[in-house]
Each structure stands twice: as C-alpha cells, then as structure tokens.
C-alpha cells in the first residue's frame, strides 16, 4: 500500500460516522506513543548511537493524506504543537534528527522537499486536507495536554493561540540533513506551505487542493478564522506578524500564495470592508468582519508576490464585473440613476484594480471608468464600437489595437492612469495600469 493510500485508509477509519471506527482509547495510546522514542536509547559509551525517532515523526508522514475526523486529528494536532512549543533545546531537540537519513524516510509522500523530521509540517498538511478539523483547530479554545498525550484538565495550554504561535513565534527550520542549499531552502519552505494549506482549509470549508463548484458558502466560524488571519498578518504592532510575510526572504514568504487564495475566496468580504457608501455588497455566506487597514497591509505584500497577486486580481475582477452586470441587469437604463450602486461596486474594488468586463449582451470587452474632466461615467468598448447607452456616454479613449509593449509606452509617455486596448495577439480587450508599488498591472479577460 502506498503512503497516500495508507493515510486515506486511516482517515476513513477515524470517521465517527463509520461503524466500526477507531476507539478513543486507541487514539489516546497513539498520542502516548507519539511523544515517545520508538525504542530505548543505548547507554552512553556504547559506541555509535543509532538514530531513534519519536512516534509522531513516523505518524505525521502518514497523516499527510486523507480527510480526518476532528475527534481524532485535533487532539493529535494540539498535542504536537504544544510539544513543539516546548522544544527550545537546540543542542538536543525534542524531535531528533542527528544520525537520520537525509533522503527523508518519514515524508512518505515526499512532494514538498521536507524529510519529515519536523512532524508539525505533516500535521499541518493533515489539517490542510481536513477542513472541519482545521476550522476547529484555529477557531476553538485550545485544550491543554500532558507530555504523554492525556488531557491536563487543570492546565493552561501553551501556546494559548495556535494561529499566533505559527504566524509569529514558530521558527520553521530546514527539514533536511542535506547540505545542498537548494534542498535546505525547499525544505525550510515546506512548513510555511503546510501552514498556508491548513489556513485555506480552515477558512474555505474544503481541502486546500480541491475546488468545489460552486464555492461553498462560508460558515460563521470559518469567517471568524479569516478575520483572525487578516488581523494577525495585517500589522506589526502589539505582536502582529506582518513582518514575517514582508520581503523576498521573509520567514513566511512561502505562505503568501495561500494568503492570496484566502483573499480571493473572501473577495466579497474584502470589497465590503472597503465600501465607502453602504453595506449592500454581497458576500458568500457569513460575513468576515475585516479591518480594512489590516487587509490593505496584507494586500500590499501580496502585490509583490506574483502567484498571490494573480489569485487576488482574478477574483477581484470577476467579483466587480459581476456587481456591475447586476446593476445594469436590474432594468434601469439611465446611468445617472445607476451612479451610486455602480460607484459602490467600483470604489470598493478600486482599492485593488480597475474594472474590465465582457458585456453580456454584446460580448464586447468593455471598461466603465470615470472621466477626470467632470467625474462622470464613460463606457469604452473594444471594436466594434458599442451602441450608446442612455445616460452613459461613450468614452473617447477607444480601444486601439496594440502589443503589450506598445501599451506600456503609451501608458508611460501619455501620463495616463490606465490604457484600455485590444491586445494584438489575442484580439481581446485588456487594461494596463500603474500599480501602487510602482510596477505595471495587466488585466485580461478569461479567454
């Protein structure tokens, strides 16, 4: 049986809805064994000391696959994180690796470059595939565990907040015995990657590597986790973790693509937080009460990460386009009367990008924008020119047929805020604009 199949089979056996399923005593015995060395160490002076792992180092590799029942996984996840937080002995770490095999014998899936000596990475991957468990792990109050895995009823859990510990305090070490720099860098990124996967599952309600269609509606507890994440990474004061995702060599740089996925999944909530007019912008399920200053700070960092930024800009464009279509589809044809609802849609989205859309009636790629001369709305369309819309004058900008390089030259030389053009290579309408970080942004329709 392969490593992935072994994990999936174990996950099925943990489901309390299945009969029979693994007992609480079996899980308790597993936690006890997880904290222990798998055999006794030989006495000092008896020659070369063999490598002896702890149970969790082996188990975490198995748990990387499968959607586990929270009743089984969460006590293990909490126990591992609490043991990890106590591991401050650099000379003799709690999770031994000295004398091990650099090939990574515990990461039996082996897709992320980690050897598997740091079990917290495998546990976070398990949460990334187990959304119910992930939401509870980051949302509910922690339970204190003794070293042997039993519940400490009178104890205070350390850490008291798993999100803050992983985001702010946890030092993700290279999880390899290799001296190759590339191997070390890849293995060090495996922990933040797994952390991101767990957050994606906790906030979305589905495993991080699955994309349900249509998207699942957010529950209140998932939305609250999203709020916690933005609050955690949205500032540096009072213990905030913004600095940990800032810069190319940031400790949690590998987490940024997952944060981009979170923002994309909660685009309605993000737009809602930026709205200056009313609270009617739709969200997908329960509303995440996002602090706009924290969201802006996170977006500022995601804008410097191509993968993260791509997720955000695509989601934003789709959301804002749907809003503008909704307003025009309401039966009103006078754009003057549509000014407030469209402005609400466009202004909230304007914190992130401009508003390119494909007109549902004509199929033309179009842009609704303000005329800086009078502040009124204008409609620009790719060829052929659109028919006039009552109350919405056609723009004088047009959509010239240009290569992207030519559009860049026109943007720079013309001193324009954006250029709407027809891409000579695809024949589709694109928007090229100045980004807030000094670079250029290119918005393209779905081909």
For residue 71, report the phi and psi dihedrals to the nearest 5 degrees.
-60, -30
Whether residue 414 has pLDDT greater than 70: yes
Q: Are 120 and 129 in contact (CB under 8 A)?
A: no
Share of the chain above pLDDT 70, in %: 79
- Sorting pLDDT into bands at 50, 70 and 90, what band is 140? very high
Nearest to 109 by CA among 60, 145, 67: 60
pLDDT tens across 330-359, in order? Answer: 555 454 444 445 555 555 554 444 577 777
What pTM was computed for the model? 0.78
DSSP H or E stretch at residue 121: helix 119-128
Among candidates 65, 60, 73, which has minimal Cα distance to 105?
Answer: 60
What was the pLDDT predicted at 27? 96
pLDDT exceeds 70 at position 199: yes
User: What tens digit of pLDDT does each residue of 3-13 get?
Assistant: 568 889 999 99
What's residue 7's pLDDT?
87
Q: What is the pLDDT of residue 201?
A: 98
Q: Is 264 helix (H, G, I), strand (E, B) or coil?
A: helix
The rounded distance, in Å, linking the Cα atoms of 69 and 17 is 9
The CA distance from 284 to 274, in Å, is 16
- Check residue 304 and give its pLDDT: 82
Domains and CATH numbers, the chain: 3-216 (no CATH), 358-447 (3.30.505.50)
- Residue 216 has a pLDDT of 93
- Asked if 426 and 414 count as a contact pair (C-beta separation under 8 A), the reply is no
310-326 burial by CB neighbour count: b if 16+ within 10 A, else e? ebbbbbbbebbbebbbe
Average pLDDT of the chain to the nearest whole number: 83
Cβ-count burial 184-221 (b if 16+ within 10 Å, e if not): bebbbbbbbbbbbbbbbbbbbbbbbeeeeeeeeebeeb
Strand partners, 37: 54
């Amino acid at each position: 049986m392969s490593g992935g199949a072994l994990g999936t089979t174990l996950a099925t056996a943990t489901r309390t809805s299945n009969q029979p399923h693994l007992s609480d005593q079996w899980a308790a015995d597993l936690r006890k064994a997880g904290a222990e060395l798998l055999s006794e160490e030989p006495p000092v002076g008896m020659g070369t000391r063999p490598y002896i792992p702890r149970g969790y180092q082996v188990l975490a590799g198995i748990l990387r696959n499968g959607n586990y029942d929270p009743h089984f996984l969460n006590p293990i996840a909490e126990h591992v994180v609490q043991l990890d937080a106590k591991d401050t002995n650099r000379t003799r770490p709690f999770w031994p690796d000295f004398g091990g095999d650099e090939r990574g014998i515990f990461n039996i899936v082996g897709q992320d470059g980690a050897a598997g000596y740091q079990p917290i990475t495998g546990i976070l991957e398990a949460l990334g595939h187990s959304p119910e468990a992930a939401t509870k792990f980051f949302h509910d109050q922690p339970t204190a565990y003794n070293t042997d895995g039993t519940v400490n009823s009178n104890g205070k859990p350390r850490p008291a907040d798993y999100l803050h510990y992983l985001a702010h305090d946890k030092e993700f070490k290279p999880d390899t015995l290799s001296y190759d720099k590339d191997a070390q860098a890849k293995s060090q990124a495996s922990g933040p990657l797994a952390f991101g996967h767990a957050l994606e599952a906790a906030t979305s309600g589905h495993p991080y590597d699955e994309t349900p269609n249509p998207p699942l509606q957010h529950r209140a507890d998932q939305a609250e986790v999203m709020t916690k994440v933005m609050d955690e990474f949205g500032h540096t004061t009072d213990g905030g973790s913004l600095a940990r995702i800032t810069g190319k060599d940031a400790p949690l740089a590998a987490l940024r693509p997952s944060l981009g996925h979170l923002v994309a999944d909660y685009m309605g909530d993000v737009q809602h937080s930026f709205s200056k007019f009313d609270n009617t912008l739709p969200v997908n399920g329960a509303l995440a009460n996002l602090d706009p200053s924290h969201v802006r700070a996170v977006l500022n960092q995601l804008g410097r990460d191509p993968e993260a930024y791509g997720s955000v800009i695509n989601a934003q464009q789709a959301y804002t386009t749907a809003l503008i279509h909704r307003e025009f589809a309401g039966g009103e044809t006078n754009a003057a009367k549509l000014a407030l609802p469209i402005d609400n849609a466009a202004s909230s989205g304007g914190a992130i990008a401009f508003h390119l859309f494909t007109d549902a009636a004509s199929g033309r790629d179009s842009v609704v924008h303000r005329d800086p001369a009078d502040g009124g709305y204008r409609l620009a369309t790719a060829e052929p020119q659109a028919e006039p819309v009552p109350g919405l004058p056609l723009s004088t900008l047009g959509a010239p047929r240009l290569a992207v390089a030519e559009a860049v030259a026109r943007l720079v030389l013309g001193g324009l805020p954006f250029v709407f053009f027809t891409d000579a290579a695809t024949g589709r309408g694109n928007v090229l604009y100045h980004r807030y970080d000094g670079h250029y942004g290119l918005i393209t329709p779905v081909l």
